Amino acid sequence: MKTDDKTLKRVYRMPFSAVYPHYVTKVERKGRTTTELHQVITWLTGFDDADIERHLAQETSFEEFFAGASLNVNASLITGVVCGVRVEDIEDPVMQKLRYLDKLVDELARGKAIEKILRS
């Protein structure tokens, strides 16, 4: 799926810190923890808690956030629909990584077991 350039540029510039509180709210509302959220983010990006906190404090854009990430080798196993779009069909690499993260957060909030979320 192709995303228009205007949307891509807006998403690329969006700070990770602007979306992170929504991730926290979503998972906590469903009885999950920030620790589990960080576990999911760490699995996908390779960032530890200190890295995540640094990106939040520095208001790193999503483009910079994912440029510095070491994407998990099993990230391509993340499939399904986010916002009406199949994540495996997204052509733009940054947008696909962002949707991978969204999908993992959705799975966490839906109560899926961590082992299954982390594709282990």
pLDDT, one tens digit per residue, over 90-117 is 988 999 999 999 999 999 999 999 999 9
Tokens found for residue 110: 């839906």
Q: Which helix (H) or strand (E) holds 66?
A: helix 62-67
Residue 119 located in a structural domain: no
pTM of the full structure:
0.91
Cβ contact 118:46 at 8 Å: no
The 10s digit of each residue's pLDDT in 83-92 is 888 999 998 8
Q: What's the CATH number where 27 sits?
A: 1.10.8.290
- How many residues make up the chain in this entry? 120
Look at the chain and report how many structural domains it folds into.
1
120 part of a folded domain: no
Domain that holds residue 88: 5-112
Give the whole-angstrom CA distance, residue 28 versus residue 66.
24
Give the span between the Cα atoms of 102 and 82, in whole angstroms: 7
